[in-house]
Chains A and B, each alone.
Chain A
Amino acid sequence: MTALAVADLRVRWATGAPAVRGVTFDLRAGETLGVVGASGSGKTALALAVLGLLPDGARAGGSVRLRGEELLGRSDAELSRIRGKDLAMVFQDLSSLNPVRTVGAQIAEAVRVHRRTTRAAARAQAVELLDLVGIPHAPQRARAYPHELSGGMQRRVLIAMAMAHDPSVLIADEPTAGLDVTVQAQILDVLRTARASGTATVLIAHDLGVVAGLADRVLVMHDGRAVEQGPAEQVYRRPRTPRTIALLRSAPRIAPRPARARPPGPAVLAVDALVRHHGAVRAVDGITFDVRRGETLALVGESGCGKTTALMEIVRLARPRRGRITVLGEDTATLRRARRRELRRDVQLVFQDPYASLNPRMRVRAIVAEPLTAHRLPARERVRELLDLVGLDPSHADRRPHELSGGQRQRVGIARALALEPRLLLLDEPVASLDATTQAGVLNLLQALQSRLGLAFVFVAHDLAVVHQIADRVAVMHAGRIVELGPADELYAAPAHPYTRALLDAIPIPDPVLERARPRVVLHGEAPDPANPPDGCRFRTRCPIHPALPPAARARCAASDPEPRPTGRPDHQVACHHPLPEPAPPTLRRTT
């Protein structure tokens, strides 16, 4: 039976700009449709039009039928009897939860809108729903306010609210946006259970990897149109339009790569047992690593693991609370003011958000020249050189940041960081806010600059797929500690720490058949509270292998937090009492 039939749907914003230009699809009960496209392709407008929640002034035309009944043109009163009951939505924005009411009350409200029941009964059902979407300690969590829950938990609450009446159709708009890969995998599992109860699901995402494991059919959107539509297997394996091919190509993949030896020479940066606490929060709790000239070290981990804090601690060039930071052979604790200012030229930072990091009122020329003029260096010629170096046209010098694309803005940020000819570049998620296709360009540029200028990079990222292309060595961080550090090829091919393994497993493969067939280790729970980490091994509470260990081995995990030790493989160390064994043929284990 057809749950939802959309025919020739067209949407125009209040300004008259078209958002959706004629999209048609059918959705049967229990089926999942993946709607995929880049930002601005009209996916969200499509969802809002189906719900009748377009912003004031926007208009929708065509037809939307829910179980045969036309929805377009109905009044707010009529639609409100359907919304939340037969047709529910999970919004992308986490601010969809009212900050001043408990999550339990908000779910109970969703229950009572469509069902006459007592407050107490609605409350009880809210707790059941929280339990259903996998929130532990549901009765207590129901009394929590949204800000007391993590992003993943908030997303679960939004799903619970949408599931209150077992809707015929559920629309989930980027339900994993902004989540770590491990939590993303958990949320996708929750949506899988929704599908099992017969709900037809529209799953909106910006990359094909996310929907590969879930969607029966896929619709690719571009510029308000459905450029390709069909069964998932067909769209992934035999894409017909260039747009789909481009989307498939930009999805992160991890292919085996040749090993590279560490470059010789002294360390440009050496961090030794660095500690940084914010009050009770142990953001960075003793990390050790070094980077050499021409080398890239990636610091990878979920949000809150302390990787950005570590970066900011390095860039301060000040005496750390505990531990030692050595830059170009100089201990930052012993630096005098003038010398610190000198050294600052050698250590530069590239920011995550190329929009926020550029002053919107300044022209590109002034932005790139700023470090030069601050150090009383001639700027004119050098700015032209720098723009050329990062692949920007001289004409870009007179533009302002908002006149540039995201990729161009990030290139400006890189040019500014290079202005003082640094020897160490700290990169804080430099491609995280860019579209997948632009990401590749910026990563290529960084690689080219590194080999040309002999720079050392510390590259912070939240998932392993992004750094795969650029990293020589990878340090995986969890709860303020480095749990595994080793050459990129080793680490990807044969992770020694169960956490690294789980991070790799959580990266979705953009192929429905492989994605559904592969054995996966899904992490349960979320990163521990950095103010109150578990005693013993901090990963113990989430560890997939811990429950299966014999009691004597488990006791070790509870007794002490493992220190990093060599695995026996070159330049490879792991902080685990029970590291994963090295596979017999060490190559080609994870081919996709």
Chain B
Amino acid sequence: MTRVAAGLVLLAALALLAAAGPALAPWAWDEIDFTAFGEGPSRRHWLGTTQHGRDVFAVTVHALRRSLLIGAAVAALATFLAALVGTVAGYAGGRADRALMWCADLLFVLPPFLLAAVLAPGAGTLALVAVLAGLMWTSTARMVRAAVRSLRDREHVLAARLAGVSAPRTIVRHVLPALASLLAVDAGLNVGAAIVAESGLAHLGFGVRPPGVSLGALVADGGPAVLAFPWRFAFPAALLVLTAVAANLLADGLRDALDPR
């Protein structure tokens, strides 16, 4: 339970920072201070400036907001897709099951960075979210399918069928409630994974397009210059790691709390 609390507190703090940060910072994220290019932290710029004269704090907080939104959107979309496909495949079984899982396997085989590289340019953040979700839902769908298959053979589900309850109603009443905790945990893990994955793509140049910024893009920009301008790397990297840790803490804690073992 302490892990859940720690994860929640951490995530809440990060979300608060993302929401209130722009109001706190004396600079707008896209504002350029022509008097300060690549300067270190000072009273004027709390965390220094970029080589283009942007305020690192303001830019990073803005990027955090973008990354959290991407993470949440990807997690929601991936978990929804996984629940839908996994439930249908697991409950229907037979040919539909094999066809759906074959598609999922094929999607997993396709290199995600390539999808992002080929599809994302020009299409913007929405395409990026779709690509990341497309990459993540397959493993969750496999898990959901396995859970549904074992549930389908559970006696209380068979009892409902024998009582004359229709298949959709059986799924809604007897299968989905049992999956809720699994899906919640997985959505939590996916938030962290999506943010990290986006930052990986950003590193290869396939992430959020400029002028938009994400934590990954900032880390990718700051990395090569870390020895000269450590502040440009340290703050976004720290936030990136914190977000991932918070999401994992929350998800793992939830899993242990919900698992009666």
Contact = CB atoms under 8 A, between A and B. Distances in A.
Do chains A and B directly touch (beta carbons under 8 Å) in the complex? yes
B162 interface: yes
A375 B164 contact: yes
A370 B155 contact: no
B3 interface: no
B28 interface: no
A416 B164 contact: no
A546 B102 CA distance: 54
B162 A356 contact: no
Contact of B156 (A315, A341, A345, A358): A358
B164 A356 contact: no
Interface stretch (A121-129, A347-355, A500-508): A347-355
Given A351-B155, A353-B155, A416-B159, A359 B164 contact: no
Contacts of B160: 359, 370, 374
B154 A356 contact: yes
A349 B159 contact: yes
B162 to A, nearest CB: 6
A344 B155 contact: no
A357 B155 contact: yes
Contacts of B159: 349, 351, 357-358, 413, 416
Interface residues of B, number: 16
Contacts, number: 49
A361 interface: yes
Contacts of A370: 160, 163, 165, 173
Contacts of B163: 370-371, 374, 416, 419-420
B162 A361 contact: no
B174 A359 contact: yes
Contacts of B44: none
Nearest to B163: A371
Nearest to A317: B162
Interface string A357-389: 111011000000011001100000000000000
B162 A345 contact: no
A352 B158 CA distance: 13
B178 interface: yes
Interface in A324-355: 341, 344-345, 348-349, 351-353
B94 interface: no
A357 B162 CA distance: 12
Interface string B162-200: 111110010001100110000000000000000000000
Interface string A232-271: 0000000000000000000000000000000000000000
A371 B161 CA distance: 9
Contacts of B174: 359
The 9 A-B pairs at the shortest CB distance, nearest first, are namely A371-B163, A357-B155, A374-B164, A374-B165, A359-B156, A356-B155, A351-B155, A361-B177, A357-B159
27 contacts: A344-B162, A344-B164, A348-B162, A351-B159, A352-B155, A356-B156, A357-B156, A357-B158, A357-B159, A358-B156, A358-B159, A359-B156, A359-B160, A361-B178, A362-B173, A370-B160, A370-B165, A371-B163, A371-B164, A374-B160, A374-B165, A374-B166, A413-B159, A416-B159, A416-B163, A420-B163, A420-B164
